[in-house]
Amino acid sequence: MTRTLIALFASVAIVSCGEAEPKSETATDSAQEQSQTVAPAQPLALTELWVLDGFNAPESVIAAGDGTTLYVSNVGGEGSAKDGNGVISKIGLDGRMIARTWVSGTDALPLHAPKGMALIGDTLAVTDIDHVVMIDVPTGEITARIPIDGAAFLNDAAVGPNGTVLISDSGTAKIHMIDNGVASLWLEDARLNGINGLQLDGNRLLVTTMTAGELLSVDWTTKAITGLASGMDNADGIGLHSDGNYIISSWPGQLWHVRDGETPTLLQNTSGDNAVLMNDILLSGDTLVTPNWLPGTVRGYRLVTGE
């Protein structure tokens, strides 16, 4: 996810509950059926649409309910620092800056290092190290900070099928849930070591892991874990593509086109000289938006299907 988290893995032992759950025949059969019905992956290319600067360690981006307004989380320092420097920006899907500092914290309700976000009605839930911050969208005010028991490095967030909020903890191989303001543990499994991105896809939760570089599927009902793809070191953001496949980002600057059970195809690598460092992603139709930790930009691309 970030430089801070990679350093964290080098110095902190990952906590897990043991071996991964065995795949059930039902979950495996379901994954095979989905794979058989997905259209063949077509070659994709990226066309840059715009670059917007002025951000401070942007980590994640999410669309508002109107689909044309985007929220960008700015860590504003190190990813695990409780320094009160975090802000949420508001931009347009067309690359316009609407508000550089739309939301910031207060002494009573600080915003330290905001990362993943999930939108539930008029509430924006934002992960912040070991809390989840609740923001009232109409007013742009922080209304609550919900502590997550035992959290080490909260990362991404996603909305569950029943309006709950799911949160990945990259430091403890856990997925937490918030339901009506109450936090609880939803899943802990050794296969979730280095868990990062979350994305709901029908009756399953898609998960990326940095440690194994995998894209996983977790059945919403049984919580059975199925592997979909591997070979993406430090896998991060997840986007659902219109062809039924996935766009995955990985730190520090790779974008992948992924089909269940196949070797991921590299679309972009910006991690060389003068690196553009990439974290989470947003895929809206054929528009891909990437926050770039360095050099502090957000970029918009069009995904073009090749012949």
pLDDT at residue 258 is higher than 90: yes
H or E segment and range at residue 7: helix 3-11
Beta bridge partners of 278: 292
DSSP string, 201-251: ETTEEEEEETTTTEEEEEETTT--EEEEE---TTEEEEEE-TTS-EEEEET
Q: How far apart are CA 144 and CA 235, in angstroms?
A: 30
Kindly report the average pLDDT of the chain as a whole number. Answer: 88
Strand order in the sheet with 235-240: 235-240, 246-250, 254-258, 265-269
35 DSSP 8-state letter: H
Dihedrals φ, ψ of 25, to 5°?
Answer: -60, -35
- The better pLDDT of the pair 34, 229 is held by 229
- Cα maximum dimension of the chain: 55
CB-count burial class (<10 Å; 0-12, 13-18, 19+) for 116: buried
Tell me the residue type at 134: M
57 DSSP 8-state letter: S
Is the CB of residue 245 less than 8 Å from the CB of residue 228? no
Tell me the residue type at 138: P
pLDDT at residue 25 is higher than 50: no
Q: 188 to each of 19, 59, 262, how far by Cα in Å?
A: 10, 24, 27
Q: How far apart are CA 253 and CA 257, in angstroms?
A: 14
Q: How far apart are CA 131 and CA 134, in angstroms?
A: 10
pLDDT at residue 184 is higher than 50: yes
pLDDT at residue 7 is higher than 50: no
Q: How far apart are CA 140 and CA 123, in angstroms?
A: 10
Domain annotation for the chain: domains and CATH numbers? 3-299 (2.120.10.30)
pLDDT at residue 301 is higher than 60: yes
- The better pLDDT of the pair 161, 74 is held by 74
Structure tokens at 165: 């909020």
| pLDDT score of 234 | 96
H or E segment and range at residue 175: strand 174-179
Task: Tell the residue number behind the tokens 């009506």, with chain if given.
Answer: 180
Nearest to 128 by CA among 161, 167, 182: 167
H or E segment and range at residue 32: helix 25-37
- Give the model's confidence band at 307: pLDDT under 50 very low, under 70 low, under 90 confident, else very high: low
Q: How far apart are CA 210 and CA 183, in angstroms?
A: 24
Half-sphere exposure of 154 (CA within 13 A, CB side): 33
Q: How far apart are CA 296 and CA 272, in angstroms?
A: 16
Q: How far apart are CA 241 and CA 287, in angstroms?
A: 10
Tell me: the pLDDT tens digits for 192-250? 999 999 999 999 999 999 999 999 999 999 999 999 999 999 999 999 998 889 999 99
212 Cβ neighbours under 8 A, 6+ residues apart = 191, 193, 194, 230
Q: How far apart are CA 85 and CA 82, in angstroms?
A: 8
